[in-house]
Amino acid sequence: MSWRRFLAVLKARNREFIRDRAALGWNIIFPIFIVAGFAFAFSGKPMDLYKVGVYAADPEQKLTEVEKTQTFFRTDYIRFIPVSELAPALTKVERHQLDMLFDLDQHYYWINRDSPKGYLLERVLHGADTPADTANNPTGGFQRQTVSGREIRYVDWLIPGVLAMNMMFSALFGVGYVIVRYRKSGVLKRLQATPVTAFEFLTAQVVSRLWLILAITSGVYAGANLFIDFSMFGSYALLLLVFTLGAISLISLGLLVAARIASEELAGGILNVLSWPMMFLSGVWFSLEGTHPLIQQLALLFPLTHIIDASRAIMIDGAGLTGISTQLLVLTLMSAGFLLLGAALFRWK
Amino acid sequence: MAVLLQATHLIKHFGDVTAVDNVSFGLEAGTCFGLLGPNGAGKTTTIELLEGITHVDGGEILYRNKPVGTDFRNDAGIMFQSTALQDYMTVREALQMFGSFYPRTTPIDELVDTCSLGEFLDRDSRKLSGGQRQRLLLAIALVNNPQVVFLDEPTTGLDPQARHNLWALVKRIRAQGKTILLTTHYMEEAYELCDEIAIMDHGKIITRGSPKTLLAEHFDEVVLQLPRADIPGDPTDLPLSITLREAEEMVEILSRDINATIRTLLDNDISLAGLQIRPRTLEDLFLALTGKGLRA
């Protein structure tokens, strides 16, 4: 590895990207438009479904039991969600992601004192009791508890996905497509005739795109935050780590696609086949909870899923390193696998 | 003179096609060697085998009597038949980038002077004319002060003026003592630039030697050319070695004795007003050896 040659290739690629003002502008403006558009569309329009968490040692069994004995748990238009861990569920109440939470074993319920939905649900809980219920067991025997916390809007949930999606397009098309173009036009052949090695060339492409992606993502993050003021409960350093690993994994995937192809049309097709399922099945726009288990398993094959899961855990739930260790490990393995395979398959011509 | 680069029994297959078939030749230090032949003859594949861009299926390549290795790239300057540079790169930046790839480099000022790049040094390389672009690519080939320079059809697609400019540059490089391997399908170019040539077709070398020696070995006649319209009747009835070039409406007569041929023409009342006499050329040699026209 010659640092001099590596830096020369890196400099040339950076210069090419920065001087291509149309591409640079598009990379910056596109995600801002998306974020602003969704903020406008969704920030003032809460979902009309009440969500109530039900915690117990065996929440599903317990829920079935209380549905028979407590009228409230049979109320229409309220979705009762069994939860197996209390602490994360409480965080969701704090974030207004759950409107109410029951501990069926300890006979507590929680609402967020700032949540209109929580307030209404509590009223429904009291109103739903039949006289017999009330006589035997006021409010179903549950003791009121309260939490407080800022609401998580749809746009707060959306932001990590949009940032990751923009990274994906920039990585796949900005590296994969460019290398195919280089190969087709003869740029790679000319470099092959020099002492530059494939490893030096590929590393320069990864680093060049990586810092551009991180710079643009940081800029978009800061810019969008000015307009939207979205939630960030976790560590910025950890978020940077997730985005860095995520970007490397996506760039490596782009390199793998471009390892041998010399047709821009074919490369474009393959990159679309990869990016579109990722865009829809990695949880950018909607949560995969409740989808078919096969879809959820398939989504785990995509690096974008792990980037989004980890960044949402940091930004919305304030997760620490332990909380996202699985995603970090998967992204590291994916990066190494894609990069090694891409380097092994790489052809200059 | 010492042989700098030696190719021995080179073979290259692409599927069922044998692109290079048992080719051997040596490049003497400080000379210009030309590989001639029509498109598809195997010239580019042969030169790419020597450059190390394409792997050989058989045979051996020696540089300074040792098998070529990756270090050879430091000593080789390469100008491909078709190549490209990254977008948004000026001429100066291209020279700087390629220069940084090598441990030994030619100063940029010297390259600019040698290849006459001064006028457009800070211009985007995509905005160069064909001739300017070829000069830049030649300068890039020289950026590492190479011992061996590979030029693969460097003047294809250039106008006559740009072609002659490039010939002058190649002569200047050769005068600096560099060894040049040139492929071309322009016979005039080979005659002008090369100390030695090899004519290839179907992956094989048909003949090899200096242009003058080859012409002397194969031809002892000159060509008399007359417009077809100046010859009444059927030209092939004349007691001469006649070739009709119908597309050019020209009649060519091969002659070992010009005086006798002219007397025959006058005896047959043929006007000599349009008569032209030329020596045999490499193109004649190629036609004689392969029996077909050059495929441009």
Range of the domain at A134: 50-147
How many angstroms away from the CA of A156 is the closest CA of chain B? 39
- Whether B294 has a pLDDT exceeding 60, the answer reads no
Q: What's the half-sphere exposure (Cβ side, CA atoms, 13 Å) at A113?
A: 5
Rg (CA), chain A: 25
pLDDT band at A309 (very low <50, low <70, confident <90, very high): very high
Q: Are residues A221 and A315 in the same domain?
A: yes
Of the candidates B78, B87, B93, which has its C-beta nearest A20's C-beta?
B87
The whole-number pLDDT of residue A252 equals 93
Average pLDDT of chain B, as a whole number = 87
* Record: contact A193-B76, CB cut-off 8 A: yes
Instruction: Quote the ipTM score.
Output: 0.80
Give the orientation angle of helix A154-171 with respect to helix A303-317, to 10 degrees. 150
Percent of chain B with pLDDT over 90: 33
Q: Which two tokens stand for residue B265?
A: 């023409």
* Cα of B207 vs its chain's centroid, Å: 15
What's the CA dihedral at A217, A222, A223, A229 to 10 degrees? 120
Task: Count Cβ–Cβ pairs < 8 Å, chain A vs chain B.
Answer: 64
My answer on whether A128 and A158 are in the same domain is no
Residue A64 is part of a domain; what is its CATH number?
Answer: 3.40.190
Whether A325 and A254 share a structural domain: yes
Residues A340 and A323 reside in one and the same domain: yes
Q: If pLDDT is split at 50, 70 and 90, which confidence band does A41 have?
A: low
For A27, phi then psi, to 5°, come to: -60, -30
Q: What distance, in Å, lies between the first and last C-alpha atoms of chain B?
A: 34
Note whether B86 contacts A11, CB cutoff 8 Å: no
Measured between beta carbons, the chain B residues lying within 8 angstroms of A183 are none
Verify that A136 and A184 share a domain, yes or no. Answer: no
Average pLDDT of the segment spanning B231-236: 82
Range B258-264, long-range pairs (CB < 8 A, 24+ positions) = B258/B222, B258/B224, B261/B224, B262/B224, B264/B238, B264/B239, B264/B240
Most confident among A21-35, A133-147, A228-242, B227-241 (mean pLDDT):
A228-242
Region of poorest pLDDT, from A17-21, A31-35, B137-141: A31-35
> Is residue A176 domain-shared with residue A129, that is, in the same domain?
no
**Amino acid at site B216:** A
B32-57 pLDDT tens trace: 999 988 888 899 999 999 998 899 99
Which residues from B are below 8 Å from A192, CB to CB? 53
Q: Per-residue pLDDT for A43 more than 60?
A: no
Scanning every residue of chain A, which has its alpha carbon at the shortest distance from the alpha carbon of B87? A16
Q: Which of A15, A195, A349 sits opposite B102 (nearest CB)?
A: A195
Residue of A nearest to B69 (CA): A195
Give the torsion sign (CA, B213, B219, B223, B228).
Answer: negative
Query: Which of A147, A181, A203 marks a domain boundary?
Result: A147
Q: Do B85 and A192 touch (CB under 8 A)?
A: no
**Together in a domain, A141 and A205:** no
Classify burial at B294, counting beta carbons within 10 Å of its beta carbon; exposed 0-12, middle 13-18, buried 19 or more.
Answer: middle
In chain B, whose CA is at the least distance from the CA of A200?
A: B101
Alpha-carbon distance values, A324 to A91, A282, A293, B215 (Å): 16, 16, 21, 79
Domain boundary among A147, A173, A207: A147
Residues A227, A159, single domain; the answer is yes
Q: Do A272 and A317 have their domain in common?
A: yes
Q: Is A8 on the interface with B (CB under 8 A)?
A: yes
pLDDT score at A293: 83
Q: Tell whether A189 and A282 lie within a shared domain.
A: yes
Q: Do A186 and B83 touch (CB under 8 A)?
A: yes
CB atoms within 10 A of CB A106: 13
Q: Which residues of A touch B98 (CB under 8 A)?
A: 194
Q: What is the mean pLDDT of chain A?
A: 85
Inspect the interface and report whether the beta carbons of A193 and B98 lie closer than 8 Å: no
Q: How do residues B51-105 score in pLDDT, each as one tens digit?
A: 988 999 999 999 998 898 878 889 999 998 877 888 889 999 999 999 999 998 9
Using the 3D structure, point to which of A112, A130, A147 is the last residue of a domain: A147
Check whether residue A215 and residue A69 sit in a common domain: no
Residues of A in contact with B97 (CB under 8 A): 8-9, 11-12
pLDDT at B22: 92
Whether residue B175 contacts residue B10, with contact meaning beta carbons closer than 8 Å, is answered with no
Alpha carbon A315 to chain centroid, angstroms: 10
Q: B85 and A7 in contact by Cβ < 8 A?
A: no
- From chain A, the residues in CB contact with B76 under 8 A are 193
Find the CB nearest A8 among B83, B87, B97: B97
Contact A187 B76 (CB under 8 A): no
The answer to whether the predicted template modeling score (pTM) of the entire model surpasses 0.80 is: no
Cα within 13 Å of Cα(B33), Cβ side: 25
Instruction: Give dist(CA B139, CA B111) in Å, integer.
Output: 6
* Number of domains composing chain A: 2
Of the candidates A5, A11, A13, the beta carbon closest to that of B101 is on A5
Tens digit of pLDDT for each residue in B110-131? 889 888 888 889 999 889 888 8
Residue B296 is predicted with a pLDDT of 44
For B20-31, write each residue's pLDDT tens digit.
999 999 999 999
Mean pLDDT of the A26-38 span: 72
Model confidence at A159, pLDDT cuts 50, 70, 90, reads confident
Do A183 and A300 belong to one domain?
A: yes
DSSP state of B124: B
pLDDT for the residue A224:
79
A190, A197, A348, best to mutate vs chain B, most B CBs in 10 Å: A190
**Chain B residues touching chain A at CB-CB below 8 Å:** 51, 53, 70, 73-74, 76, 78, 80, 82-89, 93, 96-98, 100-102, 140
Instruction: Encode pLDDT of A59-93 as tens digits.
Output: 888 888 888 888 888 888 888 888 888 888 888 88
User: With 60 as the cut, is the pLDDT of residue A32 above it?
Assistant: yes
Return the closest-CA partner of residue A164 out of A302, A319, A321, A339.
A302
B89–A189 C-beta distance less than 8 A: no
3-state SS, residue B214: helix
